[in-house]
Amino acid sequence: MELKGRNAVVTGAAGGIGAAIAAALHERGARVLLADLDEAVADTAVKLGQAHWTGDVSSADGVADLVDTAERELGQVDLYFANAGIGGSTGLGGEGDWDRILDVNLRAHIRAAERLVPQWTARGEGYFVATASAAGLLTQIGSAGYSVTKHATVDALAHT
């Protein structure tokens, strides 16, 4: 795929996999909006000469603000990398733990897709990539929430 001139959003981009994705996109000529709850995303973005957004994708308002910011900063979004994720509590956790991990690891992806996929369908192109890890295919022993959300991500994307 030719990435030169494409506009991409990468969540969870303050470091690790997200920062590596953003750097690879940048190296191939894409304009990238790096997004993360961690304010270190600003430093990562500056190193790449790219835009950034600091906020929380675990809410519908957060995702809406992220996409609005991307469209304002970059123009139409061509690629969305749903990389933000949390490990969650160990064991089963409580209802609040489940809400948080579902919001970050799954609902954030759904909310972004609800916003972007209709635009992409109308123009005939767009790419949604989610980081699901091996836990999306196997089970992460001792972390039910993480395993469930990663399996759900793989399943949801396979059926879109």
Active centre residues (catalytic): 146
Residue 84 class from Cβ within 10 Å (0-12 exposed, 13-18 middle, 19+ buried)? buried
Q: What b-and-e string marks burial along 85-109, b requiring 16 or more CB atoms within 10 Å of the CB? A: bbebbeeebeeebbebbbbbbbbbb
Helix, strand, coil percentages (3-state) for the chain, rounded to 5, are 50, 15, 35
Beta-strand relationship, 79-82 and 51-54: unpaired
